[in-house]
Amino acid sequence: MEKQNKKCSSDKHEQIAISYCDICKIYMCNKCTNFHSELFGSHQLTNLNKNINEIFTGICKEKKHTNKLEYFCKTHNSLCCAACISKIESKGNGLHKNCNVCNIEEIKDEKKNKLKDNIQYLEKISKTLDQSIKELKIIFEKINMSKENLKIEIQKIFTEIRNALNEREDQLLLEVDNKFNNTFFNEEIIKQSEKIPNKMKISLEKGKLIENEWDENKNKLNSLINDCISIENNIKDINMINENINKYNSNSIIVDIKFNPEKGEVNKFIDTIKSFGKIDIKTKKKLNNSLGKLLKEKDIELLENWIKSDNNKINSIHFELCYDAKKNGDDKNNFHKFCDKIGPSLLVIKTQSNYIFGGYTKENWEIADNYSYKDDYTAFLFSLNNKERIKVKNSKRAIVNDKDYGPVFGYGNCYEICLFYPFLSNDIQIEDGGDYGDKNLILTGKKSRRPEEIELYKVLFD
């Protein structure tokens, strides 16, 4: 509920009230609260830091209403004062003038009886609320985990894309360097060309000096010849560099290297990136089980685990009551009327000695002239008393479909569970050593095999 604020009771103050005095029946702003505390230190003030609707003062909460709450509006299920039911509409009066209104005394018995119902409801819901909250937290944690895993998956894919783009970028940049260096001159040629003038000057000066000393200093002939060789080598370097300069200064050299993706490829690629990936969230509503008398919520998890153990692709299971022998008739015709061709099903039987057991098959029940009893090892018998499952040993002899019978597990003279109609008036035939092995004592013990209740559930998978 949205928090509602109350203004200070003083006409001179427009501030929001921060406290309420139950003795003086006034709302006070900060300034009024300070004065009031000094004048009436024994008065207990209520701090209005919470919703004003949660504080009961006995005085009407409507603006400028100072009357006691002496009436009850049945139309709006709320207390009101004399001003609220006034026929004169002025200064906020008459808010409930056209409503069904009575004195508080007239409604007390009705509210007292309603209180009893509410107490029973709260006691009932309090038993399951804690568990519901725990389950809600578990669901939230699973959803949050799915969200985080999805983010990690997205980041992983885009990291791969970015790495591929960066790698391709590096390849193209390196290719540009190689193509320019192989086709044109590089920076080293520029550096060498910058040295030519100085190199020429030094060689020229040295050559003139050698020429002057040639005839005068015959003792240094080997040194002079070596200097001549050095000048000759310098001239070779100068000529080679000069040739490169002339070559690349030629008007025939035109620098024209371009990065040429196919026409429209860049824009197409960018559009693809912009629309890349799709977040598709599908929610599935969990179905509630439609249970009869025999199958209880505490049994659901156990039965689900038994059924899931033969198929790890099943997410969740829903049980829907299709047949109740007492309500729908305990004969073969009614059984086939309600149970034929419903798909996977669960038979649950309670004996007069309070043994609850049954069988599961994924195959259809149906009226047949010939026996039909195949099931690929998913069929099993179970005991809820002993919390035990008995798997079918011979998948070709799992169940029997015949127009003269109701539900039958097993085959031939070794029926594991066989119901003779009327079902509730005949003992259940149970044999050991058949297609499900020895299970006599596990299912019904040594006591009565006369059924008291028989139900069959349709099993739905998600």
pLDDT at 236: 84
pTM of the predicted structure, to 2 decimals: 0.44
Phi-psi region of 440 (alpha: psi -120 to 50; beta: other; left: phi over 0): alpha
Report residue 302's pLDDT band, with 50, 70 and 90 as the boundaries.
very high
Whole-number Å distance between alpha carbons of 21 and 48: 11
CATH hierarchy code of domain 19-106: 3.30.160
Report residue 2's pLDDT band, with 50, 70 and 90 as the boundaries.
very low
Report residue 1's pLDDT band, with 50, 70 and 90 as the boundaries.
very low
Q: Which of 349-353, 379-383, 401-405 is predicted with the least confidence, judged by mean pLDDT?
A: 401-405
Give pLDDT tens digits for 305-330.
999 988 877 878 999 999 999 999 99
Give the type of residue at 434. G
Which among 3, 41, 47, 43 has a CA at the least distance from the CA of 27? 47
Within its chain, how far is the Cα of 226 from the centroid? 88
C-alpha distances out from residue 76 to 63, 72, 97, 405, Å: 18, 9, 12, 61
Of 371 and 359, the one with more pLDDT? 359
User: Per-residue pLDDT for 143 more than 80?
Assistant: yes
User: Per-residue pLDDT for 51 more than 60?
Assistant: no
Whole-number Å distance between alpha carbons of 221 and 210: 10
Average pLDDT over residues 256-272: 76
DSSP 437: B
Cβ atoms of 381 and 390 within 8 Å: the answer is: yes
Report residue 185's pLDDT band, with 50, 70 and 90 as the boundaries.
low
Q: What percent of the chain has pLDDT over 90?
A: 30
Whole-number Å distance between alpha carbons of 187 and 192: 9
Please list, in sequence order, all residues whose beta carbon lies within 8 angstroms of the beta carbon of residue 187, skipping any fewer than 6 positions away: none
Average pLDDT over residues 67-90: 89
Which among 282, 283, 281, 278 has a CA at the least distance from the CA of 154? 278
User: Per-residue pLDDT for 286 more than 90?
Assistant: no
